[in-house]
Amino acid sequence: MALHDELLDAARAATGLEDFGERSFEEGLEILTRALRTEARLNATGQATLRGLLVGLLSQRLQVEDWYRRHPEIDDEQIVAPLIGLGLPRTGSTALSFLLAEDPQARSLRMWEANAPCPPPCVGEGIEDRIDRGRTEVEFRTKTSPRRGRLVPASATGPTECQSLMALDFKAQYFQAFAHIPSYSKWLLESADLTTTYRYELRVLKLLQWGFPNQPWRLKCPTHLLFLDQLAEVFPDARLVMTHRDPAEVMVSVADLYAAVARSYSDDIDLPYLGALNVEHWSVGMERALAFRDNGGDSRFYDIDFRAMQRDPIGEVTGLYTWLGEPVTPAFGAGMRRWWEENAQQREANVHPDPATFGLDIDEIRPLFAAYTTRAAQWTTRETSTSGAEGLNHHGD
């Protein structure tokens, strides 16, 4: 029996359910499991963790489809004009997502519900158990990889990336952080169509929203950068906030993060491979993003520079909200200030290894991102302002 068939059977046995919904996920699952079997160098922890992750994702699909079967009205939910954060990783997008999560008038994707959407939150069942499991996951990350915990803030009740929902269609970049799976990485970059992935993310967002008053969603995932055409097809009214930082700094930082994650699951980490993998994926992703913006998508974007965020985070979010046409309420502002102050020490602690550790040469990286660097400097040039809270220059704004 093929591994992916074994995993399907394990999910059916765990849930007592049979319907996985549309079978779009099977291509990614098959390619992923083949790569895990033939290429990954997982230790015992990695083997157990990855198997548990895959069975868990399949079990979640079964449960999502079961809730839709019993409550077809869920599909009537409308996800209106979500604000979606993207850009190169390690550009301050995680900090931005935590700041935006302090808005009591908006809705973020929380870790505990992204990891286990069912039962939907409106039912009120099992929420504390799922929060506890989320806390256990964060503790596991910190214990097995203290550096990962320092690099990326995480909270069971805080915002998380769309990766967990994208993984339900088995087209998600985070799999390649867990394991050495070059054939899957190549397929994801060159051949995968994420239209079905975003449709399934939309399906789960409707489930999570069901039973609550509609609030604007604040979502975030750097890897959306690679698939903007598909993202825009499924979320045609989405507004996009893009964070920016020197790509040479980013490549070292993200390779460092990948290594921190992988060390929890493997005793054989190829650091130069991780450097080359990220340079390839993100340089291609930026080429696609530039083409998307040049092809009529530019007006969707609000741009934030990493250094500006470090200097004046509240002002940057205020500028973003001015662009959105929404207020920064006193409660929102107070929450942002509190979060920023509480996490100041973590931000100051991150010092990355020498680029050569990952086989990276800064002088070779910069030309790959030259077009982006020029454009980013234009996008993040501020209008003259004494308040420090004005929006960025945008074409047509």
Residues 6+ apart with CB under 8 A from 70: none
Q: Report whether 182 contacts 39 (CB < 8 A).
A: yes
Q: Which H or E run contains 158?
A: none
**Overall average pLDDT of the 304-322 stretch:** 95
Dist CA 312 CA 153 (whole Å)? 19
Strands 239-244 and 107-108, bridge-based pairing: unpaired
pTM: 0.92
Task: Give the bridge partners for 240, in sequence order.
Answer: 84, 301
Burial class of residue 73 in the structure, from the number of CB atoms within 10 Å of its CB (0-12 exposed, 13-18 middle, 19+ buried): exposed
**pLDDT at residue number 394:** 33
Query: Do residues 177 and 89 lie in contact, with contact meaning Cβ atoms separated by under 8 Å?
Result: no
The predicted-structure confidence for 347-390, as pLDDT tens digits, reads as follows 555 667 899 999 999 999 999 999 999 999 999 885 333 333 33
pLDDT digits over 14-64, tens only?
999 999 999 999 999 999 999 999 999 999 999 999 999 999 999 999 999
CB of 203 within 8 A of CB of 70? no
C-alpha distances in angstroms, 224 versus 169, 256, 382?
A: 15, 21, 25
Per-position b or e across 162-188, b if 16+ CB within 10 A of its CB: bbbbbbbbbbbbbbbbbbbbeebbebb
